[in-house]
Structure 1
Amino acid sequence: MNLNHIFFSLLGFLFIFITNFNPIIAETKLTKTETSIEINFPKDIQFKISGELNDEIEAVNLIFKIGYSNSNIIQPINFNQNQNNFEGNLTWNTNTTNKYIPPGSPIEYYYEIKTTSKKTFSSKINKLVYLDNNKKWNSVKYKSITMYYIEVFENVVQSRANDLLEATLQTVEYISPLLGLEAKNEPLNIVLFNDYSYMSKSLAPKSDAQSEKLITQGQAYPKHGVVLLLDGRESKGTASHEITHILVDRAAGSPYTVIPSWLNEGLAEYANPIKGFSYQNSFENNLKTDTLLSITKYTSPPGKPEDIILFYGQAEKIVEYMIETLGRKEFTDFIKSMKSGMSLNNALEKIYGMNKVEIENEWRKEIGASLIEETNKNTKPKSTTSSVQLYTLDSMKNDSKEVNKPTEINLIKANDSENISEDKETRLNNKNSCGLSDSNEILMLVYFFSVVMLYKKKNRK
C-alpha cells in the first residue's frame, strides 16, 4: 500500500471520527432527595432536606410562602456535604414576633440548590396548613372559607363550626361588593378555639402586662388570610368583624396607603351583625354631652379603655354615614382609589370633593354635634387593638429576599423521595455544549499528527 492510500485512509477515518464524535460528559444529577417538616407548636418549625448530588454545592436556599400573599421568602439554610451525599436544615422560630405564624396559615415551600459549577436545581413544592400536630384537627369548608376546629364532644363543635361558617360567609358576600372585591372566592381560613388558655398560646407574642389585661376574642391576620376565633356568645359578630379586616386589607391595602383605624374598625363594626350595646351606649352618651372624639384624626385607637369603646362606636357611625348617606357607589370608588395608591385625603377629595375633617364635619352637622377645626397636628395614640398586624412578610425583608414563585411546579407530600430535575435553561446549555474529555483529545491529536507526518513524507519524495 503506497503512502497516498495510507494518507487518504487516515484522513477519511479522521473525518468519520469527528462527524460522529459524541463526547461523554458526566451528567450532574440530584437524586434520592427527601424533604420533611416538623412542627413543634408553638416554638418552631424544622425544615429538612437530604439527597445525593455529584457536584460541589455552593448554597441551599429554602424558598417559602406563608399565607395567601404573592411574595416568597428566600432563606439560606445550613448544609453539610460528604462526597455525593448532603443534608440541610433550618429552624424557623415561630415564638418570636417577627417570625410568628398564625395557626391555620397555608405554607408552601421548596428548595433551590446551587453548585459551584453554576448549576441550579429546584425541588417540587410541598404544601401544608400550619396547625398544632399534638391536636386532632377537623375542618369544614364552604365556598372560599375553611374553618378548623378541635372536636371535644362528638359533633357538638362541628355543628357550632357550621353555624359560624354560614354567618361568616354571609358577611363576605355582603361586604365584598361594597369594597369593590370581585374575587369573592379568594381563600380565608378560620381557626376556632374553645379554650382561651390554649388560644393565648396561639397568638403572637406580647408582653406579660398585655397578656394580663387583654383577653382576645378574635384576631385577624390580613397578610395570611387567617382569623383566630374564641367561641362564645358573640362569636358570630366577632368572626364577621375580623373577617372584614381581611377584606378591607385586600380591597384598599397598598404599599403606598395607610388604612386609618377609624375607617378599618368602622367598616368591621358596620359589617358586624351583632351590634355591641356598650359601643352604642357610649356614642349616645357622648353625643348628648357633646364630647365626641375628633374621630378622623386617629390613625390608631386611643389608649384609655373608655375612649376605645367610644372610638369603636363612633367609627361605625361615621362609616355608616359615608355609605348610606353619601352613597354606596361613591364609597366603593373611594376604596378603589385607596387601592390604587392614593392617600386617604387624596382619595376623599377625588370622590367626595372633601378632606377627612370636612367629611367629619358634614356628619357632625347631620347628628347635631359641634364641628371640629382642621389642624395639621395628628393625634397618634398608641394602639391597643387586636387588629394591628403583629407580623407580616414585609417584616422579613431585612434578612430575606422577595422572589416570584415558579409558574410550573408540581406539588408533592413531605418525605417523598423524588428525583429532582435540573432547570430547563441549564439542561439546554448542557445539551448544546461542546467539549472533549481528556482521553478523546489525546486520541484526536495522535491521528492529526500522523496525517501531518505522512503528508510531509509524501512531499519529500
Structure 2
Amino acid sequence: MTARAASYGRFALAAMTAGIVFAFGLGGVVGADASGAVTVRSWSLASEFPEGFRVRLTASSDEDIESVAIRVRIGRHTRTGYDYLEMTRRDGSLEGDLLWRTNTAASYIPPGTVITYSFEFVDSDGRRYETEKAEFVYHDPRFVWKEISRGPITVAYHGGSEPRAREILDTMLLTLDRMAPLLGADREEPIRVTVYNSWNEMRRAIPPATAAFDRHLITEGQAFTTVGTLLVLGSRSAAGTASHEMTHIIVHRAGEGVARKVPPWLHEGLAEYGNVDPGRSYDNALRRGIRQDHLLPITHMGSLPGRANDVLLFYGQSKSLVRMMIDDFGTDKMREFMALYKSGESMDDSLMGTYGLDRVALENRWRASVGAWGGGRGAARPTRHRTRHPPPPNK
C-alpha cells in the first residue's frame, strides 16, 4: 500500500509493546530481544524493477508468530505503507517472501529511490515486535550503478558517464542555491537523481502513463516530487534537464501541502525559470505563438495540453509569465506568494493578496507585456470583479 508519487516531466525505532528492539541494519547485524523471543537470522531486499522488489526473511522465535509485515517509507514521502510476507515454517524457522509490486501507475516507484523499511512481527497474543529501520536503494538491476554526492544531492550513473554525472551534480547545486531562497524551500532535504545513457534505456524506467503520453515527444527528465527522485536522460541537454526537474521538487516543497497542489503553469514556469542551462525550443514556440496569434489560457488549464506543439508553447508561455512576475514585482513577492498559497489560500486569493491581480488580470498583464494583446482564440477575458490596482513594480 503506497501513495502514488506526483511527477513532472521535461519533454524535447522503538518496540510497539514492552519487548523487542532490534539492532537491525544493512551491515549484517541481526538482533533479538532480551528474552530471545524473536531472532532475525537473515533478510534481503532485491530489485526486480520494474515489477517490484523482492523481500525475503528468515527468523526464529519462542513465541507463536502469526504474521510478519514489512513497513516502508518511499523516498521523502510523508506517509508509510505496509504489506505482509507469505510465511512458511521449516525446521523450526520462519521463512517469509513478498514481491512488493511497482509495475502500475498507482504503485510505481522511480529507480534510485531510497526505501526505508522495518519488519513487524505479531504473535498469537497480539504482541508486536518491530525491528529498527534500515535503508535499501531501489536501483534498476539492468545496470551496475555508481554514485557521487555533495550536499543533499546524490547522482547515480552507470558505464562511462561520470563526467556527465558530475556536470549534473554541479548544475543542480547551482539551481538549489538560486531557487531554494527564491521560493522559501528547505535546502538540506535530500534529492536523488538516476541518469540513463539513452532513450532506449530510459523508456523502460518511466511510468506507463508517461511512456504513452505522446509519441512525438521524448521524455528528457521526470521529477517525482513527493519522493524526491529525478530521472534524467544523459543527452547533451542533461544538465539543463536536471536543473529544470530539480526545481519541480523545490516548488513542491515550497508551495504544496497534503491537499494543495501548485498548478501546471506555475510549476512549469518556475521550473524553466530555474533552469540554469535552458534550451531554445520553448522560447521559439512562444515567439511562433505570438506571431500566429495562437496562445493558450495557461492560468486556467489544469493539465498540460495533449498536442506536442502546444506542450512546447505551454512551457514557453509559463516561463515568460513567471519571469514577468519576478522581474516586475521582485523575488520577495514570489516567496510571499508561495507561502500564502501553501497556507491554504486559493490561487486567485493568493495572487490578489500578493500582487493585487487575479489569474485573468495577471495573464492579461503578461499578454500586454509581450505585445500579444490581440484577443486571439487563446486570450484571457478581462474580469468584471476585483478591480484593485496592482502594486507598483519592485524590481
Which TM class, normalised by the smaller chain length?
A: 0.7 to 0.9
Would you say 1:85 and 2:96 are equivalent positions? no
Please state how far the C-alpha of 1:212 moved relative to its aligned partner.
4.5
Select which of 253, 261, 282 maps to 1:279.
Answer: 282
Rg: which structure is higher? 1
Select which of 186, 190, 198 maps to 1:187.
Answer: 190
Kindly provide the amino acid, as one letter, of the partner of residue 341 in structure 1: G
Q: Distance in 2 between matches of 1:200 and 1:340?
A: 37
Which SS does the other structure have where 1:293 is aligned? Answer: coil
Q: Give the corresponding residue for 1:160.
A: 164
Equivalent residues in 2 for 1:55-454, closer than 5 Å: 55-81=63-89, 85-152=93-160, 157-181=161-185, 183-206=186-209, 210=213, 212-370=215-373, 372-373=380-381
Structure 1 residues 186-233: Cα deviation after superposition (integer angstroms, max 9, x where no partner):
111111111221211111124875474442111111112111111112
Q: Confirm or deny: 8 A CA contact 1:161 1:192 kept in the other structure.
A: yes
Structure 1 residues 76-129: Cα deviation after superposition (integer angstroms, max 9, x where no partner):
332234695322221112222222211110011111111121211111222121
Kindly provide the amino acid, as one letter, of the partner of residue 102 in structure 2: T
Q: Confirm or deny: 8 A CA contact 1:28 1:55 kept in the other structure.
A: no
Q: Whose RCO is larger (CA < 8 A, sep 6+)? A: 1
Percent identity between matched residues is 34
Q: Distance in 1 between matches of 2:119 and 2:177?
A: 38
Residues 300, 123 of structure 1: alpha-carbon distance in 2 compared, 3 angstrom cutoff = same
In structure 1, stretches of 5+ residues that fail to align are 1-25, 377-461
Q: Distance in 1 between matches of 2:345 and 2:38?
A: 49
Q: Distance in 2 between matches of 1:137 and 1:338?
A: 39
Q: Distance in 2 between matches of 1:231 and 1:271?
A: 19
Q: Distance in 1 between matches of 2:156 and 2:222?
A: 15
Would you say 1:31 and 2:34 are equivalent positions? no
Query: Cα RMSD over matched residues?
Result: 2.3
Please state how far the C-alpha of 1:73 moved relative to its aligned partner.
0.8
Residues 209, 318 of structure 1: alpha-carbon distance in 2 compared, 3 angstrom cutoff = closer
Q: Distance in 2 between matches of 1:210 and 1:318?
A: 25
Q: Distance in 2 between matches of 1:30 and 1:216?
A: 48
Structure 1 residues 260-308: Cα deviation after superposition (integer angstroms, max 9, x where no partner):
1111111111112233323222222332343322221112121122222
Structure 1 residues 335-381: Cα deviation after superposition (integer angstroms, max 9, x where no partner):
111222222122112212221111112222333332631589xxxxx
Q: Distance in 2 between matches of 1:201 and 1:146?
A: 22
Structure 1 residues 144-200: Cα deviation after superposition (integer angstroms, max 9, x where no partner):
111111123xxxx2122112211111011101111111x212111111111221211
Q: Confirm or deny: 8 A CA contact 2:260 2:344 kept in the other structure.
A: yes
Q: Give the corresponding residue for 1:9.
A: none
Kindly provide the amino acid, as one letter, of the partner of residue 368 in structure 2: K
Instruction: Decide which moves more: 65-74 or 260-269.
Output: 65-74
Q: Confirm or deny: 8 A CA contact 1:269 1:316 kept in the other structure.
A: yes
Structure 1 residues 362-420: Cα deviation after superposition (integer angstroms, max 9, x where no partner):
222333332631589xxxxxxxxxxxxxxxxxxxxxxxxxxxxxxxxxxxxxxxxxxxx
Q: Distance in 2 between matches of 1:286 and 1:204?
A: 31
Kindly provide the amino acid, as one letter, of the partner of residue 357 in structure 2: M
Q: Confirm or deny: 8 A CA contact 1:43 1:95 kept in the other structure.
A: yes
Q: Distance in 2 between matches of 1:373 and 1:295?
A: 12
Please state how far the C-alpha of 1:135 moved relative to its aligned partner.
2.3
Q: Distance in 2 between matches of 1:134 and 1:293?
A: 41
Kindly provide the amino acid, as one letter, of the partner of residue 108 in structure 1: T
Normalized per residue, the structure richer in helix is 1
Q: Distance in 2 between matches of 1:135 and 1:283?
A: 39
Instruction: Decide which moves more: 309-318 or 192-201.
Output: 192-201
Q: Confirm or deny: 8 A CA contact 1:257 1:344 kept in the other structure.
A: no
Q: Distance in 2 between matches of 1:169 and 1:78?
A: 44
Instruction: Give the TM-score, by structure 1 length.
Output: 0.70
Q: Distance in 1 between matches of 2:229 and 2:199?
A: 18
Would you say 1:53 and 2:70 are equivalent positions? no
